[in-house]
Amino acid sequence: MIPYDKRSGKIWYNDNLVDWGDVKLHVLSHGLHYASCVFEGERVYDGAIFKLEEHTERFFYSAKRMGFTIPFSQDQINEASKKIISIQKVNNGYVRPVAWRGSEMMAISAQQTKIHVAIATWEWGSYFDPKLKTEGIKLNISKWKRPSPESIPWDTKAAGLYMICTLSKHDAESQGYTDSLMLDHEGKVAEATGANIFFKDKDGNLHTPTPDSFLDGITRRTIIEIAKTKNIKVFERKIEVSELSNFVGCFLTGTAAEVTPVSSIDRFNFKVCNTIMELSKSYQDIVRKKIAA
């Protein structure tokens, strides 16, 4: 894989198209030292960004929650995103808008820092090994928990919130797992390191944790909408780890993960059932505009 700083083409950077290798930020940028940085992850399918407007709206919400204002309008960011995937000729890939505080101040206070915005895009396939998308991935249970909602801006895509996700995923991979299940501050099921989670019970109903201390993903909401069109009941509720033995199916959802079946979590095993595969197919049909969203 080509390192991300060695790629070619252009990146949209503060309303300019800059050569990929020339996009720089100073080592004393506040966003690097104090995590005053927000971002989005978006998928390109057949040359179009799926739910671009919703992602951009969340991008601006995240910045507001972090106490800074993105110096462009949402329409400008939407147009810039479309422009950069066209320039880079990305047909099926990923888009990463990111905004951060600059280097004008270097301390906890950062009111006078300039806000920088960049949008990069690249061709990108499956987040997980395609083979695992049919066989299911294996998760351990992370020792790290999602913090209490009054301690962090939990409903944002802010850089600092992903520190424990990286630690959890590295630990899982070192043990032979693909990813890790994270619990919330109460010890209830929360999410995976970069995706929401669903469970299927013996009656065909879906259960998913209430997103009250972690991100309510755009893909998560899309899957709930799809399930309702199929007359599948979806229960958003608190889920105990001890309940996992009652479920027969499990899958992750996310912009990167899309719909990924889970074959096991720690000692709990699940089947990659038809319901999960049908939800995955319907999701692919929607993102590729074969059926209406």
What tens digit of pLDDT does each residue of 210-233 get? 999 999 999 999 999 999 999 999
- Residue 105 and residue 164 in one domain: no
Query: Which of 93, 123, 153 corresponds to the end of one domain?
Result: 123
Which tops the pLDDT comparison, 260 or 129? 260
- Residue 156 and residue 282 in one domain: yes
CATH number at residue 257: 3.20.10.10
- Tens of pLDDT along 117-165? 999 999 998 778 777 888 999 999 999 999 999 999 999 999 999 999 9
Query: Which of 123, 142, 168 corresponds to the end of one domain?
Result: 123
- Residue 159 and residue 263 in one domain: yes
- Residue 136 and residue 117 in one domain: no
Strands of the chain (E only): list them.
10-13, 16-19, 37-39, 42-45, 48-49, 93-101, 115-123, 137-145, 179-183, 189-192, 196-200, 206-209, 234-237, 249-254, 258-265, 268-269
List 51, 133, 138, 157, catalytic entry: 157
- Residue 175 and residue 280 in one domain: yes
Domain count, the chain: 2
Q: How far apart are CA 81 and CA 11, in angstroms?
A: 10
- Tens of pLDDT along 1-27? 899 999 999 999 999 999 999 999 999
76 inside domain: yes
- Residue 150 and residue 270 in one domain: yes
Query: Which of 85, 102, 123 corresponds to the end of one domain?
Result: 123
Residues constituting the chain: 293
Q: How far is CA 287 from CA 49, 219, 255, 259, 280, in A?
A: 9, 10, 11, 12, 11
- Tens of pLDDT along 233-247? 999 999 999 999 999
4 inside domain: no
What mean pLDDT is predicted for residues 195-202? 98
- Residue 149 and residue 199 in one domain: yes
1 inside domain: no
Cβ(234)–Cβ(279) below 8 Å: no
- Tens of pLDDT along 48-64? 999 999 999 999 999 99
- Tens of pLDDT along 79-103? 999 999 999 999 999 999 999 999 9
Cβ(152)–Cβ(161) below 8 Å: yes
Which residues lie across from 36 on neighbouring strands? none
How does residue 115 score in pLDDT terms, banded at 50, 70 and 90? very high
- Residue 138 and residue 116 in one domain: no
Q: Are strands 137-145 and 16-19 parallel, antiparallel or unpaired?
A: unpaired
pLDDT at 185 over 70: yes
Which tops the pLDDT comparison, 88 or 291? 88
* Structural domain containing residue 154: 132-287
- Residue 246 and residue 165 in one domain: yes
Q: What is the pLDDT of residue 1?
A: 80
Q: How far is CA 121 from CA 6, 59, 227, 259, 262, in A?
A: 14, 16, 30, 22, 28
Q: How far is CA 99 from CA 60, 70, 72, 116, 184, in A?
A: 9, 7, 11, 5, 27
pLDDT at 290 over 80: no
- Residue 22 and residue 88 in one domain: yes
Q: Does the annotation mark 145 as catalytic? A: no
- Residue 260 and residue 140 in one domain: yes
pLDDT at 264 over 80: yes
Q: Within a 10 A sphere around the Cβ of 151, how many other Cβ atoms?
A: 9
Cβ(287)–Cβ(50) below 8 Å: yes
